């Protein structure tokens, strides 16, 4: 891994840092990220799936030369999966080997020594939260706690305790404290509300869908092979779809996937057949696809073509 670099000195530096890694952020996001880094507070990012929340942590880790440690949340996530657990299989092997050597006649002292041995560091399996607390020599890692809303309130309470003191107690080993707290990014898709107590520990930012100008910049940065006309039509079309009250609007990730798919098909511009054939790259629910396959889809494309032509004429004048 590359040498760790210092955190940005200003909001403009933060914007430049993200931009250099291909992440097109608005100033509000750069501001809250800068403050999070300067104040040492976790950053809580909420928003629809596919708007780039997870990517922020990846870009930040890469740009700062820090290790990225990711805790992917899911229903039923507990301490054993998030913090640590003991390697019981290896412990049993160790116990059997010790018994074979002394024939089980070692007495209380031997049993105490055995218990101390099997609950030593070499049998400890470190999960993401413990890895983040222990860190690495040189610089604290970036800890991404992804899709926290998939967990339950019990895990939230445990996480709040860790984020309050950046320490965890393992009964057999004692308390482990972070020498330098990790840079913490928490994301949620807002499928449920997260408790206020946890949010108060963080700086909060809602990551919205980008406007057309920023989405165009993102597309150019991530899929530079897309031509100017195709890129404008893609962005305009996706922006229109987000105004149709679909069950699930396409995110930036889908915009980029669609652009890549159209390039693979050697398309230079959108047409009704191409939109129909590739709409499954953009939309993920059949009701939405059926709606766009009807007259709504043709109407959207006609509006996009018409508005872009009018804009080109106005620009020419």
Measure CA 190 to chain center.
Answer: 14
pLDDT of residue 107 exceeding 60, the answer is: no
pLDDT, position 293:
84
Average pLDDT over residues 155-173: 91
Q: How would you list the strands of the sheet with 142-146, edge to edge?
A: 68-72, 142-146, 183-188, 43-46, 203-206
pLDDT score recorded for residue 203: 98
Confidence of residue 201 (pLDDT cuts 50, 70, 90): very high
Using an 8 Å Cβ cutoff, are 185 and 32 in contact? no
> What's the chain's average pLDDT?
91
Q: Residue 115 — very low, low, confident or very high, per pLDDT cuts 50/70/90?
A: low
Q: From CA 209, how far away is CA 246, in angstroms rounded?
A: 14
Q: How confident is the model at residue 220 (pLDDT cuts 50, 70, 90)?
A: very high
Angstrom distances, CA of residue 2 to CA of 31, 37, 61, 65, 205: 26, 20, 11, 5, 29
Phi then psi dihedrals of residue 179, to 5 deg: -65, -40
Q: If you average pLDDT over residues 7-13, what whole number do you get? A: 96
pLDDT at 294: 80
Q: The domain at 11-75+130-206 falls in which architecture?
A: 3-Layer(aba) Sandwich (3.40)
Residues 6+ apart with CB under 8 A from 39: 203
Tokens 């805790």 belong to 71
**pLDDT higher than 70, residue 108:** no
pLDDT on residue 114 = 66
Q: 204: helix, coil or strand?
A: strand
pLDDT band for position 104 (cuts 50, 70, 90): low
Residue 52: predicted pLDDT: 93
Q: What is the pLDDT of residues 232-261, one digit of tens each?
A: 999 999 999 999 989 999 999 999 999 999
pLDDT at position 168, please?
Answer: 92
CB atoms inside a 10 Å sphere around CB 171: 6
Instruction: Report residue 314's pLDDT band, with 50, 70 and 90 as the boundaries.
Output: confident
Q: What average pLDDT does range 270-297 have in this prediction?
A: 91
| Report field, pTM of the whole predicted structure over 0.85 | yes
Position 110 scores a pLDDT of 59
Please say if the pLDDT value at position 1 is more than 60.
no
| Residue-level pLDDT at 109 | 60
- Helix, strand and coil in the chain, % to nearest 5: 55, 10, 30
């Amino acid at each position: 891994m590359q040498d760790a670099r210092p955190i940005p000195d200003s909001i403009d530096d933060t914007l430049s840092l993200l931009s250099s890694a291909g992440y097109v952020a608005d100033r509000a996001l750069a501001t809250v990220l800068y403050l999070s880094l300067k104040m040492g507070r976790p950053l809580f990012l909420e928003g629809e799936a596919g708007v780039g929340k997870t990517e922020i942590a990846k870009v930040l880790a890469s740009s700062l030369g820090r290790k990225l440690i990711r805790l992917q949340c899911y229903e039923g996530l507990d301490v054993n999966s998030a913090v640590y657990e003991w390697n019981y299989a290896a412990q049993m092997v160790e116990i059997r080997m010790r018994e074979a050597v002394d024939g089980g006649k070692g007495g209380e002292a031997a049993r105490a020594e055995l218990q101390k041995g099997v609950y030593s560091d070499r049998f400890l399996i470190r999960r993401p939260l413990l890895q983040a607390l222990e860190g690495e020599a040189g610089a604290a890692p970036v800890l991404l706690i992804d899709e926290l809303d998939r967990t339950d309130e019990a895990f939230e309470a445990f996480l709040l305790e860790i984020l309050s003191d950046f320490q965890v107690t393992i009964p057999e080993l004692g308390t482990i404290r972070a020498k330098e707290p990790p840079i913490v990014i928490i994301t949620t898709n807002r499928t449920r509300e997260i408790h206020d107590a946890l949010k108060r520990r963080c700086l909060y930012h809602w990551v919205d869908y980008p406007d057309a100008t920023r989405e165009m910049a993102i597309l150019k940065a991530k899929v530079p092979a897309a031509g100017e006309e195709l890129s404008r039509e893609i962005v305009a079309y996706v922006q229109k779809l987000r105004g149709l009250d679909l069950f699930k609007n396409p995110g930036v990730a889908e915009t980029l996937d669609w652009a890549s798919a159209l390039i693979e098909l050697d398309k230079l511009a959108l047409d009704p057949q191409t939109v129909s054939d590739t709409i499954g790259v953009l939309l993920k629910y059949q009701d939405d696809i059926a709606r766009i396959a009807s007259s709504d889809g043709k109407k959207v494309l006609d509006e996009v073509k018409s508005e872009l032509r009018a804009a080109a004429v106005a620009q020419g004048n």
